[in-house]
Amino acid sequence: MEKTKFIAEVSSNHLNNLSRCYKIIDACKKSGFYAVKFQLFKIDKLFSPEILKKSLVHNKRKKWELNKKFIPKISSYCKKKKIKFGCTPFDIDSADYLKRFIDFYKISSYDLLNIKLIKRLIKKNKITIFSTGMSNLRELHSLLNLLNKKRSKKIIFLRCVSEYPANIKNANLKSIETLKKILEKKNLSSKVGWSDHTKSKAVIYRAVHKYNVSHVELHVDLDGKGYEFSGGHCWLPKEFESLIQAINIGYESDGHGKIKPCIKEIKERNWRADPQDGLRPLRTLRSKI
């Protein structure tokens, strides 16, 4: 069985500070993440003018933006640290700019209806990950209809709940199985993972070991000072390190699957009940003691 790959969603917890970006990457690499993912957006291309005019909360998100000039530097640093680098573009210009620097694209749940952007990404020869929070079956099928069988090998779907933090009872992990069956019927070879907003180890363990997800995305922060940490869905280094470590230790217990004693059991075999009198150890060993 292929091990689940963990993706660190940095979101806007970088505080638009390149040094902090590097520190987050270091923490994620040390903890066993397969990849880190950032977001590239401009507020005036993300929200409508009406919202920005009326909502001070959304206006303040200007400081959440990532400096575009950081992208090449983050890309080089990730290559140096041997960790994959992905990014979510929220507009076509960002998508085009990112192509030469990233290992994969990510489309957020909020952009699942952004057909123009999705079509642009599908044409690029990059792995593309789609989060499917808030989507219904009709919307999912519309997305699948855009994919051809050949391209589906580079598509990854993540089930998630767009609630921050998400109530465990709303996680609906069984929908992972439903999505896998839909993909199978359509003869699409896309992988299915889990984008977490519950911040629950129990949910992650079940997603990995029960539903065999290909990827798990966790929102991460460095020290609790990130812009999104107060939302209650972000993991800190000690938390995500212990989680990934525990899951990888669990994989070690799978073994080879054969029914035979392990090396450490060989000597103990002699201390089993003898078939003649039911006493321990076996008669062959008693005579040697």
Q: DSSP letters along 200-213, please?
A: -HHHHHHHHHTT--
Query: What are the sequence ranges of the domains in the chain?
Result: 5-255, 258-289
Burial 111-123, CB ≥16 within 10 A → b, else e: bbebeebbebbbe
Q: Which amino acid is at 134?
A: M
Q: Give 58's contacts (C-beta < 8 A, 6+ positions apart).
A: 43, 47, 51, 52
Looking at residue 152, its pLDDT comes to 78
Looking at residue 7, its pLDDT comes to 98
In the structure encoding, which two tokens stand for residue 19, read together? 């040094």
Q: Report the C-alpha gap between 154 and 111 in whole angstroms.
A: 19
Q: Which helix (H) or strand (E) holds 196?
A: strand 191-196
In the structure encoding, which two tokens stand for residue 140, read together? 């999912």
Looking at residue 246, its pLDDT comes to 97
Looking at residue 103, its pLDDT comes to 98
Q: Report the C-alpha gap between 12 and 194 in whole angstroms.
A: 20
pLDDT means per 10 residues in the chain (289 residues)? 94 98 98 98 94 91 96 98 98 97 98 95 92 96 84 91 98 98 93 98 98 98 98 98 97 94 95 97 93
C-beta of residue 245 within 8 angstroms of C-beta of residue 239: no
Domain 5-255 has CATH 3.20.20.70: yes
Q: Would you tell me how many other CB atoms lie within 10 Å of the CB of residue 74?
A: 24
**What are the Cα distances from residue 213, in Å, to 66, 191, 223?**
30, 8, 28
Strand partners, 40: 89
Looking at residue 12, its pLDDT comes to 97
In the structure encoding, which two tokens stand for residue 175, read together? 């929908």
Tokens 């789609």 locate to 130
